[in-house]
Structure 1
Amino acid sequence: MEINRETLIKLLEAFADSSEVLQHEMMLYQILFTAACKAKGLTEDEIHKAVARGRWENTEKINKVSQATHQRLLARLPRLVDLLASDEDAAMQFLEEWDSESPTN
């Protein structure tokens, strides 16, 4: 199976673009959370402790929600690889539809 170099680059760019969108969203939430904490008079140390406590208290809930999304992503990868090997146009359409499904928050 030989995959076209340009198609593979587009695939990797799609993943990188999704990662960048996620990073921007996380940074926005971090800035808003920090600003809200500071508005309430919390110190940097108190903010870090609140984040650590929230992470510890919500890990199971977060894992439950994110695991389902992650498993759906992993399940779609073999189909994408097969399309890249057999029908690059269909693979690109698959990526475009996939990208339009992903919410930014």
Structure 2
Amino acid sequence: MAIIRCPKCAKSISDKHKQCPHCESNIAELNDEQVLQLQREQRIKKKQMFINHSFLALILFLGGFFCLYFLQPQEETLQWYAYTAAIGIGCIWYLVNRIILVTLKKKK
């Protein structure tokens, strides 16, 4: 008995299952081409999720930067800390997402 990934939901299941207990997908009826197609779709969904996250991170970074630049709050105030935190979190979040996307691209 081996643990495999469901081609539809990508959760771990036993290779003895004929139907995925998570997504109720009938695994026994799938041929190799259908399994590859489902895996491609999962990979595309995962990439799209990280692309969306990187856009959100970029918006957070730019929002913090523009607020800090145009509103010019006094240093050491709550607003100043919030804007600099938004810049830092957005930058790190963006970089992490981009690194993940590059590694996903190399796994092809």
Greater relative contact order structure (CA < 8 Å, 6+ sep): 1
Q: If each structure's strand is expressed as a fraction of its own residues, which one has the higher value? A: 2
Q: If each structure's helix is expressed as a fraction of its own residues, which one has the higher value? A: 1
TM-score by length of 1: 0.39
Larger-gyration structure (1/2): 2
